């Protein structure tokens, strides 16, 4: 490794939030081996995540939470401890090279108005994922993906370079899972800062691959619940008054009908997902 690359990586603290992610750690550790500053925050995993981190990332700071506080809040706890100019948020199922991280840092250094610089995410087959776009309540993105450095409305937090300065950007803890990254991007844009996508840097992301084990039915229920609840919280925060309330009301009766139809399929996974969505909407007071 060159001295220049080593110096660049020393300006970055990698932040990883885990939850039943033991199966990801070996591969993740290989991609992060050159990074000197790593913080792992564990959301009450009941698998072998702790043992895998100790084995494969022995130099990482380990922060174990007794309860699952959610993605954004766990990241916040790590960000409060960051002493470098940048934090690189990486999901356990997301692999990024030191060179790609250095590219993000170079872009951030050259673009001081940017609070976030994100790479292009690729799936396991090497295909580009749609991990960025414009604020969805303003207009729908059209056309091909970014071919060069582009200012966007939001970027998926599976891989982010976040500038750590006096602004001290943090996730809203009201979002347990989903929409917390889009919410933070919206607040950054409202403050006159930018979110950039730099396709010259790529990261490989196994979507929904960071959590394994436990009940599939429970996992589907949780995804449905948190996605629908967070959607209404986001709309209440960023859309015109009344939009979230009307969306919730419509979703409740449509979701109830969907749940009844799913019950006829006798497929527990689909039933759990629909039930979670309905309960999440019910709990998301708009």
Q: What is the pLDDT of residues 168-222, one digit of tens each?
A: 899 999 999 999 999 999 999 999 999 999 999 999 998 665 566 667 888 899 9
Of 162, 184, 205, at which residue does a domain stop? 205
- Please indicate, yes or no, whether residues 174 and 234 belong to a single structural domain of this protein: no
Segment 247-262 shows an average pLDDT of: 91
pLDDT of residue 70: 96
The residue with greater pLDDT, 37 or 1, is: 37
Segment 101-110 shows an average pLDDT of: 98
- Please indicate, yes or no, whether residues 116 and 228 belong to a single structural domain of this protein: no
- Please indicate, yes or no, whether residues 60 and 198 belong to a single structural domain of this protein: yes
CATH of the domain at 77: 3.90.550.10
Residue 77: pLDDT band with limits 50, 70, 90 = very high
Place of tokens 């937090």: 157
| Residue 30, in any domain of the structure | yes
pLDDT of residue 266: 82
- Please indicate, yes or no, whether residues 134 and 33 belong to a single structural domain of this protein: yes
- Please indicate, yes or no, whether residues 221 and 194 belong to a single structural domain of this protein: no
- Please indicate, yes or no, whether residues 180 and 239 belong to a single structural domain of this protein: no
Res 158 pLDDT > 90: yes
Segment 233-242 shows an average pLDDT of: 90
Q: Which among 160, 163, 17, 157 is positioned nearest to 86, based on CA atoms?
A: 163
pLDDT of residue 188: 96
- Please indicate, yes or no, whether residues 236 and 173 belong to a single structural domain of this protein: no
- Please indicate, yes or no, whether residues 10 and 146 belong to a single structural domain of this protein: yes
CA distance 97 to 95: 7
pLDDT of residue 209: 53
- Please indicate, yes or no, whether residues 108 and 226 belong to a single structural domain of this protein: no
Cα separation values, 202 from 26, 40, 189, Å: 20, 22, 23
| Residue 211, in any domain of the structure | no
pLDDT of residue 16: 98
Segment 19-42 shows an average pLDDT of: 96
- Please indicate, yes or no, whether residues 110 and 233 belong to a single structural domain of this protein: no
| Residue 182, in any domain of the structure | yes
Residue 241: pLDDT band with limits 50, 70, 90 = confident
| Full domain range(s) for residue 107 | 3-205
pLDDT of residue 18: 97
125-154 pLDDT, tens digit per residue, is: 899 988 998 877 666 766 678 889 999 999
Stated pTM of the model: 0.92
SS (H, E, C) 128-182: ECCCEECCCCCCCCCCCCCCCCEEECEECCCEEEEECCCCCCCCCCCCCCCCHHH
Q: How many independent structural domains does the chain possess?
A: 2
| Residue 117, in any domain of the structure | yes
| Residue 210, in any domain of the structure | no
Of 170, 205, 240, at which residue does a domain stop? 205
Is residue 214 helix, strand or coil? coil
**Contact (CB, 8 A) for 218 and 272:** yes
| Residue 236, in any domain of the structure | yes
- Please indicate, yes or no, whether residues 192 and 233 belong to a single structural domain of this protein: no
- Please indicate, yes or no, whether residues 135 and 237 belong to a single structural domain of this protein: no
Res 65 pLDDT > 80: yes
| Residue 53, in any domain of the structure | yes
Segment 24-51 shows an average pLDDT of: 96
**Environment class of 84 (CB within 10 Å of its CB; exposed 0-12, middle 13-18, buried 19+):** middle
């Amino acid at each position: 490794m060159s001295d220049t690359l080593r110096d660049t990586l020393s300006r970055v603290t990698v932040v990883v939030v885990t939850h039943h992610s033991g199966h990801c750690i070996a591969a993740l550790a290989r991609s992060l081996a050159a990074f000197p500053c790593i913080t792992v925050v564990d959301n009450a995993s009941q698998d072998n995540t702790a043992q895998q981190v100790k084995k494969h990332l022995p130099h990482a700071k380990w922060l174990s939470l007794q309860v699952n506080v959610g993605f954004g809040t766990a990241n916040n706890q790590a960000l409060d401890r960051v002493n470098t100019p940048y934090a690189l948020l990486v999901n356990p199922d997301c692999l990024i090279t030191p060179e790609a991280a250095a590219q993000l840092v170079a872009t951030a250094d050259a673009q001081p108005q940017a609070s976030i610089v994100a790479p292009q995410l690729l799936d396991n087959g090497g295909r580009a994922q749609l991990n960025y776009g414009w604020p969805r309540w303003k207009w729908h993105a059209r056309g091909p993906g970014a071919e060069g450095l582009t200012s966007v409305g939001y970027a998926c937090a599976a891989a982010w370079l976040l500038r750590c300065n006096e602004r001290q950007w943090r996730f809203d803890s009201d979002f347990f899972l989903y929409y917390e990254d889009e919410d933070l991007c919206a607040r950054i844009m409202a403050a006159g800062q930018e979110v950039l996508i730099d396709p010259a840097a790529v990261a490989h992301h196994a979507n929904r691959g960071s959590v394994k084990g436990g009940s599939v039915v429970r996992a589907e229920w949780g995804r449905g619940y948190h996605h629908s609840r967070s959607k209404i919280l986001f709309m209440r925060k960023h859309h015109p008054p009344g939009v979230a309330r009307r969306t919730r009301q419509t979703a409740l009766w449509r979701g109830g009908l969907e749940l009844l139809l799913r019950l006829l399929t006798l497929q527990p996974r689909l039933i759990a997902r629909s039930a979670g969505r309905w309960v999440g909407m019910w709990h998301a007071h708009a």
